Each structure stands twice: as structure tokens, then as C-alpha cells.
Homo-oligomer: A and B are copies of this chain.
């Protein structure tokens, strides 16, 4: 199981999803849980793309077998439902791994927690960088008239 916001897709997302799938071995099935709009708003920032569209785009990506929206109230709900062998944490995700392992144990969930190492370096390797770049760019206003 991999998780995230996946607001604006960049190669780092692909790397994280590929590596997550590899963790499960050859016949692994990768399930992705997409953070809800309300969760992103409270923990990070207002998402640009809404949860429905973020889910659709993640489903289009090669390593993904299944994808679902998370819960707005309890992040463990979907873990209890899917019971993943492995929960994969992205290189740029700031979960406290030991705390997460403790919370899983408390709920009798036996998922292993593994942090994906390495990072896919690219020019715009986070949704935040893409948003920041767009904010700084100057566009001819005419292009927005047709969209």
C-alpha cells in the first residue's frame, strides 16, 4: 500500500509507486490510498486538483493495481479493510515510522512499514515546486480565454 496526495503528477510519484510495488515481490499488487481534500487542506495546503480527479490520474499510472480515497476521520480505516502486507512510505513523506508501527500494533494490524529510499531527481520534483513555478511565470492572458 502506498499513500499520498498526488496533486500534480511528477516523476517522483512514479518512482515512489514503482519502488512500492517492487517491495512486495514479483506477484505484488499495489493499492494506493489518495488523501482526501479535507485532509490535505488541514495538513498541507489547499489541493489544486480535487480528490476525485487525483484518484483518476493515479489509476492511470503503470504500477497501480487499485486506488481508493482515504478516510477523512481515521487513516487506519482503510488499512483495516485492505490489510496490506507492506505499507510503503515515500522518500519525502514525514511519517514517524515507529509511531506508525505502534499504532498499527495497537489495532492488531501486521503490516510491515518500509520507507522507500532514494529519490527521483527532476527539475520539478514536487507538486509544490510546480505550483511555485506557475505562480512566478508570466503568461499571455489570451491563452486563458480559450480554457
Residues on A facing B (Cβ under 8 Å): 8-11, 13-14, 44-46, 48-50, 52-53, 56-57, 60-62, 122-124, 126, 128-135, 137, 139-140, 143-144, 146-147
Contacts and interface: CB of A to CB of B under 8 A. Distances in A.
A135 B134 CA distance: 7
Nearest to A131: B134
- In the A-B complex, list the 7 residue pairs whose CB atoms are closest, starting with the nearest: A128-B147, A14-B60, A11-B56, A134-B134, A9-B9, A132-B144, A45-B143
A31 B61 CA distance: 16
A127 B45 CA distance: 20
A53 B133 contact: no
B60 A130 contact: no
A127 to B, nearest CB: 8
A60 B8 CA distance: 14
Contacts of A122: 52-53, 56
A37 to B, nearest CB: 11
Contacts of A133: 48
B60 A134 contact: no
A46 B137 contact: yes
Contact of A124 (B49, B129, B135, B140): B49
Nearest to A9: B9
Contacts of A147: 126, 128-129, 132
A53 B121 CA distance: 10
